[in-house]
Amino acid sequence: MRNLFRVLSILCAIVCVCIFSLIYFVEINVPEKLTTVEDSNYNAPELFGFSFFNLSIHNELDVSKNNKESIKQEAEIELFNIIPVKNIQITNTKRKYVVPGGEIFGIKLYTDGIIVVDTDTVDTESGSINPSEIAGLLIGDIIKKIDGVEITSIKQLSGLIEKSQGKEMNFSIVRNGKNINIKFKTYKDVFSGKYKAGLWVRDSTAGLGTVTFYNPENSSFAGLGHPIYDIDTKAIMPMKSGEMAEVKIKGLYKSSNGSVGELCGILTGKKMGDLCINCESGVYGLTSCNKIELLPVAVRYEVKESKAQIICTIDNSGPKYYDVKIIKIYSNSATVNKDMIIQITDKELLSKTGGIVQGMSGSPIIQNGKLVGAITHVFVNDTTQGYAIFAERMYETSVSREMEKYQQLKAS
């Protein structure tokens, strides 16, 4: 009898472990909110090809109609049709279509304020003094105004600092999204005789990226799949304005494990569009597009760990398709631009680039005739692999209220 109880206890423990493992599987693989499209329905997830779960839609939350229709519903995922596992919200909407990109474009970005990238000491008659330490100004702070005057360039900032002649100034800054006012004073340098602030600052940046798609619905484009960061502070650069510029490719440096290569190009000076947004999911702007090919945008549950292709440009012959494989999907990723891992498998591309190089960020990923995502990062220790973002995320930003605001400004 004792042996029987022991066996039953072991069996109960195994069953409990299996049940909790299945619940955990749903928890990490199914997000709180899902978008479905009119030509495709979401089914409860399968594990190892077996269906342990049932999806039960039990409440319609909202039906909203404007130029698009969307229906929001509450659903419950149940284990063996008995045990409730997770409540999710499903939004069913019309299929979205975009024009795939793959072209290289130049980025000219002008900051909203002046970014403090470093501080230094000033050699005064009283010794070395760091004005920023005294004032409480930190690396990464964004100087917006001085004595109520909006600061738009480094030249303007330098002029006001020299003009101050050591008089205390009121700095209006932004730190971690919060507005702060500080008192700042310059000091006279014994060698030059000029008043200095000991500040290293930045008001603009430039670079290359790849267009992910053009949205004919609002004449917008999306690229990079990740934000433009300040190279020194590692923070997202606050953008006041920017340009999408034409680029001529001059060559590339190949990637190798431990060393990431890059596309080399020059900006021709020809403006192709306006940058409007620099955020976690990429850069966005307004432009015109003569291409007419349309592809449906996949929602995240349609993306599979399987073969795919990317469209990218590595020379002046234009965008081409190359083979890749999606080897890992993070359906519930907390990091916006790291939704999946892709691997370059195309022999031609590997021979030319060694894998992913800087400048390929934003390269669209095509699977089963749909735009599923875009390359965002490269793994330094294995340059054949990198992260990618879901196309669904980028599309949502391209039609966001912030983008609508820029459209209205341009139209007015």
336-350 per-position pLDDT tens digit: 889 999 999 999 999
Contacts with 10 (C-beta within 8 Å, 6 or more apart), sequence order: none
Query: Does 113 score more than 70 pLDDT?
Result: yes
Q: Is 346 a catalytic residue?
A: yes
Give the C-alpha separation, 181 to 295, whole Å.
49
Pairing mode, if any, of strands 370-375 and 142-146?
Answer: unpaired
Q: Is 333 a catalytic residue?
A: no
In this predicted structure, what is the pLDDT of residue 162? 84
By CB atoms closer than 10 A (0-12, 13-18, 19+), residue 256 is exposed
Range 399-408 average pLDDT: 78
Query: Does 65 score more than 50 pLDDT?
Result: no
In this predicted structure, what is the pLDDT of residue 278? 93
Query: Does 64 score more than 60 pLDDT?
Result: no
Query: Does 4 score more than 70 pLDDT?
Result: no
Range 197-203 average pLDDT: 91
Query: Does 111 score more than 80 pLDDT?
Result: yes
Give the C-alpha separation, 95 to 37, whole Å.
5
- Residue range 349-403, pLDDT digits in tens: 999 999 999 999 999 999 999 999 999 999 999 999 999 999 999 999 998 888 7
Query: Does 24 score more than 80 pLDDT?
Result: no
Give the C-alpha separation, 304 to 280, whole Å.
23
Range 163-181 average pLDDT: 90
Share of the chain above pLDDT 70, in %: 84
Residue 96 phi/psi, 5-degree rounding, is -100, 145
Give the C-alpha separation, 56 to 72, whole Å.
14
In this predicted structure, what is the pLDDT of residue 383? 94
- Residue 56: pLDDT band by 50, 70, 90 thresholds? low
Q: Which of 132, 203, 220, 226 is catalytic?
A: 226
Give the C-alpha separation, 223 to 212, whole Å.
5
Q: Is 230 a catalytic residue?
A: no
Give the C-alpha separation, 230 to 115, whole Å.
9
Decide: helix, strand or coil at residue 64.
strand
Catalogue all structural domains in the chain, each as residue range(s) with its CATH number: 2-94 (no CATH), 98-107+204-408 (2.40.10.120), 121-197 (2.30.42.10)
Dig out the tokens for 219 from the structure: 């004449």
In this predicted structure, what is the pLDDT of residue 66? 46
The pTM is what? Answer: 0.84
Greater pLDDT, 51 or 167 = 167
- Residue range 210-231, pLDDT digits in tens: 999 999 988 899 999 999 998 8
Q: Which of 132, 172, 255, 361 is catalytic?
A: 361
Give the C-alpha separation, 113 to 121, whole Å.
23
Greater pLDDT, 164 or 66 = 164
Range 151-176 average pLDDT: 89
Q: Output the average pLDDT for the chain.
A: 85
Give the C-alpha separation, 404 to 147, whole Å.
33
Share of the chain above pLDDT 90, in %: 45
Contacts with 337 (C-beta within 8 Å, 6 or more apart), sequence order: 225, 226, 280, 281, 282, 376, 377, 387, 389
Greater pLDDT, 123 or 40 = 123
Give the C-alpha separation, 232 to 221, whole Å.
28
Q: Which of 232, 274, 346, 382 is catalytic?
A: 346
In this predicted structure, what is the pLDDT of residue 263? 92
345 neighbors 330 (Cβ within 8 angstroms): no
Give the C-alpha separation, 375 to 373, whole Å.
7
